[in-house]
Amino acid sequence: MHLQTWDILVQDIPPGTTSVDQMPPDFKSAPIGQRDDIIAGIQAVAPEVDFSDPTWGIIRGDGYTIEINIGEEPVTSDFAFHVRGDDEAADVISRILQRLELRAYDPQSISGIFKPGEEAVESLRTWRNIHEDAVHTEQ
């Protein structure tokens, strides 16, 4: 069975943007920071994160796993969270983004933009329900 993930893409989203529909068609993401600084910020929120491979971190919590694909470049313009599990994962991502002062895309949300709090939890629940329905359909 193929394990699906709720994917959140962190990028330089212009301030004040509340929906992907507001993004200029010619938008180019600026660098969001030094990879080492981003890793340090993630570790400050989730000290249990395993970055033994500095391009791919893993946070294992009770009931969830968050994989972080940050890439090899010393300065990065984006990175992604790949999430499986319960609602607590949305809170962990919210706290990491707040710590790093970054925003992210959430293709599962109505706006396409990750919004911390209950909207992020609802997005994760929606993804989980769709995924569970797909798994049951495959069987």
- 53 pLDDT more than 90: yes
Query: Which DSSP helix (H) or strand (E) runs through 60?
Result: strand 56-61
- pLDDT score at 136: 42
Residues in contact with 1: Cβ distance below 8 Å, sequence separation at least 6, in sequence order:
135, 138
pLDDT value at residue 27 = 85
Q: Is the dihedral of CA 132, 133, 134, 136 positive or negative?
A: positive
133 pLDDT higher than 60: no
Residue of higher predicted confidence among 25 and 62 = 62
For the chain, which domains are there? 31-138 (3.30.310)
How many percent of the chain have pLDDT more than 70?
91
* In the predicted structure, residue 59 carries a pLDDT above the cut 80: yes
C-alpha dist (Å) from residue 21 to 10, 15, 123: 17, 14, 18
How high does pLDDT run on average in the chain?
89
pLDDT tens profile 73-129: 999 999 999 999 899 999 999 999 999 999 999 988 999 999 998 889 888 988 888
pLDDT confidence band for 4 (50 / 70 / 90):
confident
Q: For the residues 66-77, what does the mean pLDDT come to?
A: 96
pLDDT at 129: 82
Residue 126: what pLDDT? 85
Q: Give the number of other Cβ atoms within 10 Å of residue 47's Cβ.
A: 8
